[in-house]
C-alpha cells in the first residue's frame, strides 16, 4: 500500500492519496485527510485493505482513535467494502454517506448478493473479503449541503447521482479539492499523453443515468474546484479542462446502448455492448495518444469495459420495464 501527499495541502491540513492495490497498482485509491489532530477517510477500498489502512495511520504518526469520519462516496465495494470493518477499529469515528446508500452499510447482505452476481462468488471473495455491518449508532445519513467538521475546516457534501443514485462528493473548500468517487469518471494514468489525462465514464451496474450525471457535473463544476480527486485514479488539476471529455464519454456510452435498444435483440446484447464500447475506446484513446498499441489498450481497459457493458445492459432493461410498466 503506497501513499502520495497531495500538492494542494495547506500548512497544517494534510491530505494523502492511498493506493489500495485493488486490481492493479494505480487503479483504486482512497484518501486520508488530517486537520488539527482529526482524520477522515474518503472511500476505504475493500475489507482486505483495512489492516493496511490501520498500519498506515500509525506510520504517519496517528492513531485509529483520531479518525473522526469514514466517508464512502457511494457503497460500491471498491469504494466502501471496507467501511464497516474500518469503523469497527476506529471507535471515535462516524460513518457518513448518502442517505440512500447508508442502509446498505448497516445491513450489507443485499449489497453482497448483488456484487456476487456481478463478479461471481470466487472473485468476490478474493477481491472484497467479508462485508462487516456498520453499527447504526455510529452512522450518519447525508443529504445535499451537509457540513462535516474536520479539525478547523469543513467538508461539504454534494448529492451527485448519475453513476449511482446514491453517489455523493465531498468538497474541501479550503483546498478547493473535490473528492469525486466515480462522478468524474475513470482516469488511466498509463494513457496520459504529453501531460493530458484520458477519462472514460464508468457505467457499472446498476443505476447509470446520463441525464442526471450531466446535472451532477454542472453542480460539481459550480464549486469552482481546482482539483478533482478520483478514486480511479488520483488527483487531477483544473478539472474544468477535462470535463468535456468526460461528458462526451457519457454521451457515447448512452448512444451505443440506445443503438442496441433500437435493434431490439436482447440475446447476446451485453457481449455486443462490450465489443462496441471497446472499439469506441480504442478510437478515442488512439486519437488522444497515437503512440499506444491496441493490445495495450485492450489489456488495460478489459475489466472496466466488461463492467460498463453490464451496467448499460441493466440500464436498457430498466428502461424497458419503465416503458412497459412491468
User: What 3 state SS string does the chain have?
Assistant: CEEEECCCCCCCEEEEEEECCCCCCCCCEEEEEEECCEEEEECCCCHHHHHHHHHHHHHCCCCHHHEEEEECCCCCHHHHCCHHHHHHHCCCCEEEEECCCHHHHHCCHHHHHHHHHHHCHHHHHHHHCCCCCCCHHHEEEECCCCEEEECCEEEEEEECCCCCCCCEEEEEHHHCEEEEECCCCEECHHHCECCECCEECCCCCCCCCHHHHHHHHHHHHHCCCCEEEECCCEEEECHHHCHHHHHHHHHHHHHHHHHHHHHCCCCCHHHHHHHHHHHHHHHHHHHHCCCCCHHHHHHHHHHHHHHHHHHHHHHHHHHHHHHHCC
Decide: 72 and 105 in contact? Cβ < 8 Å. yes
Which residue has better confidence, 12 or 120? 120
If pLDDT is split at 50, 70 and 90, which confidence band does 323 have? confident
Share of the chain above pLDDT 90, in %: 78
Which residue has better confidence, 174 or 272? 272
The stretch 101-125 carries a mean pLDDT of 85
Strand 186-187 with 199-200, pairing: antiparallel
Weakest mean pLDDT among 105-119, 173-187, 260-274, 293-307: 105-119
C-alpha cell at 182: 466515480
- Residue 221 has a pLDDT of 97
- Residue 12 has a pLDDT of 56
> What would the pLDDT profile of 82-94 be if each residue is shown by its tens digit?
999 999 999 999 9
Boundaries of every domain in the chain: 2-243, 247-324
Which residue has better confidence, 18 or 265? 18
Question: Omega into 233 within 30° of 0, i.e. cis?
Answer: yes
- Res. 3: pLDDT tops 80: no
- Residue 262 has a pLDDT of 87
**Summary mean pLDDT of the chain:** 92
- Res. 11: pLDDT tops 50: no
If pLDDT is split at 50, 70 and 90, which confidence band does 148 have? very high
- Residue 139 has a pLDDT of 98
> What would the pLDDT profile of 115-146 be if each residue is shown by its tens digit?
787 778 888 888 888 889 999 999 999 999 99
Give the domain 2-243 fold.
Metallo-beta-lactamase; Chain A (3.60.15)
- Residue 326 has a pLDDT of 60
- Residue 31 has a pLDDT of 97
Residue 312 and residue 326: Cα distance in Å, rounded? 19
- Residue 8 has a pLDDT of 66
The stretch 148-171 carries a mean pLDDT of 96
Weakest mean pLDDT among 19-28, 40-49, 79-88, 289-298: 19-28
User: Model-level pTM?
Assistant: 0.93
- Residue 14 has a pLDDT of 86
- Res. 24: pLDDT tops 90: no
Amino acid at each position: 500500500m503506497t501513499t502520495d501527499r497531495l500538492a494542494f495541502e495547506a500548512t497544517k491540513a494534510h491530505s494523502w492519496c492511498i493506493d489500495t492495490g485493488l486490481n492493479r497498482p494505480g487503479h483504486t485509491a482512497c484518501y486520508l485527510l488530517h486537520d488539527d489532530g482529526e482524520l477522515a477517510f474518503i472511500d476505504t477500498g475493500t475489507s482486505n485493505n483495512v489492516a493496511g489502512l490501520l498500519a498506515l495511520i500509525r506510520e504517519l504518526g496517528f492513531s485509529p482513535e483520531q479518525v473522526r469520519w469514514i466517508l464512502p462516496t457511494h457503497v460500491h465495494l471498491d469504494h466502501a467494502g471496507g467501511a464497516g470493518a474500518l469503523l469497527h477499529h476506529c471507535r471515535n469515528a462516524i460513518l457518513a454517506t448518502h442517505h440512500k446508500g447508508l442502509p446498505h452499510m448497516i445491513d450489507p447482505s443485499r449489497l453482497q448478493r448483488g456484487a456476487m452476481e456481478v463478479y461471481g462468488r470466487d472473485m468476490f471473495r478474493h477481491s472484497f473479503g467479508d462485508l462487516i455491518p456498520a453499527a447504526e449508532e455510529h452512522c450518519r445519513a447525508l443529504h445535499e449541503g451537509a457540513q462535516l467538521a474536520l479539525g478547523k475546516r469543513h467538508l461539504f457534501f454534494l448529492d451527485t447521482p448519475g453513476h449511482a443514485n446514491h453517489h455523493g462528493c465531498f468538497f474541501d473548500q479550503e483546498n478547493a479539492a473535490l473528492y469525486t468517487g466515480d462522478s468524474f469518471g475513470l482516469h488511466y494514468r498509463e494513457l496520459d499523453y504529453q501531460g493530458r489525462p484520458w477519462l472514460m465514464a464508468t457505467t457499472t451496474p446498476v443505476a447509470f443515468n446520463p441525464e442526471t450525471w450531466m446535472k451532477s457535473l454542472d453542480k460539481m463544476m459550480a464549486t469552482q474546484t481546482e482539483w478533482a480527486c478520483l478514486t480511479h485514479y488520483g488527483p487531477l488539476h483544473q478539472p474544468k479542462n477535462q470535463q468535456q471529455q468526460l461528458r462526451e464519454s457519457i454521451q457515447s456510452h448512452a448512444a451505443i446502448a440506445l443503438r442496441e435498444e433500437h435493434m431490439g435483440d436482447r440475446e447476446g446484447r451485453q457481449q455486443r455492448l462490450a465489443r462496441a464500447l471497446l472499439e469506441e475506446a480504442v478510437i478515442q484513446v488512439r486519437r488522444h495518444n497515437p503512440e499506444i498499441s491496441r493490445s495495450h489498450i485492450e489489456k488495460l481497459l478489459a475489466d472496466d469495459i466488461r463492467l460498463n457493458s453490464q451496467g448499460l445492459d441493466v440500464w436498457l432493461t430498466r428502461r424497458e420495464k419503465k416503458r412497459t410498466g412491468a
